[in-house]
Amino acid sequence: MNKKQIAITLGVMCLLLTIAICVQIRTMNSASSTVSQTLADNGLRDEVLKMKEKYDNTYKELENAQKELEKIRQAATQNDSTAEAKERELKENNMLLGNTDVTGDGVEIILADANVTNSFNPSDQIIHFGDIQYVVNELKNAGAEAIEINGQRLVNTSAITCEGNIIKINGERVGSPFYIRAIGSQSLLYGALSRAGSYLDFLKDYGNIAEITKVDGITIPKYTGAITYKYMKEDK
């Protein structure tokens, strides 16, 4: 083998060695990035779990405190007609504010996206937050005393919002199908939403699912969030 062949051989070997080193470095960087991402995801998951556990513990403490307070109220109002009247008024106010579970006859409405797309505008066959808000307003106008959507009790400070393609109620994410339950006069509630040309008929015209039924003995859970007031003050 002459010097020229030796030089060519060494050059090829150096090139192959360089390629192998580059591939090794790229593989190590990719593995390091994957490990770092996994560690970041695990850290975020741990933080979420800790926050959820803290929330659950705080909510349990609040429920226990409310039970103890109820016992104290009951003990204080025994054999006292004035105090009993105040206690009844307090319970009624708590029901109106959404602070207690309530039961009564009413209606249930199911809203869901269309199963088959047959419109020039697919958006027409999706239930939007505005559709939910319209139905809720119809129920309120018909005298609904308590309303709940997918487990979320509506109170004076409740908000139905849209963030991109995500609908939130009381800050909690909800999705189709939407189950809206309302307590009130069955005839008024049912009549307001099932009349000819109603908003439910409008949704059905686009292929959406929009059904209403009368239901006896509906139980609507209390509002579990915190009700705060920043600008309203007592008038002294």
For residue 141, the model assigns a pLDDT of 93
CA dist 70 and 54 (Å) reads: 24
For residue 45, the model assigns a pLDDT of 72
Name the CA dihedral angle for 173, 113, 101, 185, rounded to a multiple of 10 degrees. 150
The neighbour count for residue 236, using CB atoms within 10 Å, is 3
For residue 59, the model assigns a pLDDT of 64
For residue 72, the model assigns a pLDDT of 67
Name the CA dihedral angle for 184, 187, 191, 194, rounded to a multiple of 10 degrees. 90
Rounded to two decimals, the pTM is: 0.63
Cβ proximity of 151 and 158 under 8 Å = no
Q: Write out pLDDT tens, residues 27-37.
A: 666 655 665 56
The separation between the first and the last C-alpha atoms of the chain, rounded to the nearest angstrom, is 108
Please tell me what DSSP assigns to residue 80.
Answer: -
Give average pLDDT by consecutive 10-residue segment, the chain, 236 residues.
56 63 65 60 71 70 69 65 67 73 95 78 84 94 94 89 87 91 95 91 91 95 78 72
For residue 149, the model assigns a pLDDT of 95
Enumerate domains of the chain plus CATH numbers: 102-220 (3.30.70.1880)
For residue 53, the model assigns a pLDDT of 74
- Which of 131, 190, 179, 184 has its CA nearest to residue 152? 179
- Which of 93, 82, 86, 97 has its CA nearest to residue 226? 97
For residue 123, the model assigns a pLDDT of 79
For residue 73, the model assigns a pLDDT of 64
Q: Which residues contact 233 (CB under 8 A, 6 or more apart)?
A: none
Cβ proximity of 181 and 148 under 8 Å = yes
Owner of token pair 């393609």: 165
